[in-house]
Homo-oligomer: A and B are copies of this chain.
Amino acid sequence: MARRVTLSHGGGGVLTRELVEEVFLPAFGNDVLRALDDAALLDRPAGRIAFTTDSFVVKPLFFRGGDIGRLAVSGTVNDLAACGASPLGLSLGLVIEEGLEIDTLRRVADSLAATAREAAAPIVAGDTKVVERGAADGLYINTAGVGALPTGPAPGAGRIRPGDRVLISGALGDHGIAVLSEREGLRFETEILSDVAPLGGLVEASLEAGEVHALRDPTRGGAAAALNELAEAAGIGVEIDEEAVPVHPAVRAASDMLGLDPLSIANEGKMILFVAEADAGGILDALRAHPRGEEAAIVGEAVEGHPGVVAVRTRIGSRKVLEMPHGEGLPRIC
Contacts and interface: CB of A to CB of B under 8 A. Distances in A.
Q: How many copies of this chain?
A: 2
B39 A83 contact: yes
A9 B329 CA distance: 10
Contacts of A145: 39
A161 to B, nearest CB: 18
A125 B142 CA distance: 13
A260 interface: no
Given A55-B129, A134-B134, A12 B325 contact: yes
A137 B131 contact: yes
Contact of A13 (B35, B43, B327): B327
Contacts of A331: 7, 10-11, 130-132
A117 to B, nearest CB: 19
B36 A40 contact: no
Nearest to A224: B13
Contact of A149 (B41, B79, B88): B41
B132 A135 contact: no
A89 interface: yes
A62 interface: no
A146 B42 CA distance: 10
Interface stretch (A91-99, A163-171, A182-190, A282-290): A91-99
Question: Which range contains the number of A residues in contact with the other chain?
Answer: 35 or more
Contacts of A85: 39
Interface in A237-289: 266
B52 A41 contact: no
A31 interface: no
A40 B44 contact: no
A48 B41 contact: yes
Contacts of A10: 220, 327, 331
Q: Which of A44, A92, A125, A127 has the most CB of B within 10 A?
A: A127
Given A10-B327, A36-B229, A38-B82, 8 more contacts: A15-B327, A35-B156, A39-B51, A44-B47, A53-B125, A55-B93, A57-B129, A131-B137
7 interchain residue pairs of minimum CB distance: A12-B220, A8-B327, A144-B144, A15-B327, A53-B91, A13-B325, A11-B327
5 contacts: A8-B327, A16-B221, A35-B156, A38-B78, A57-B131
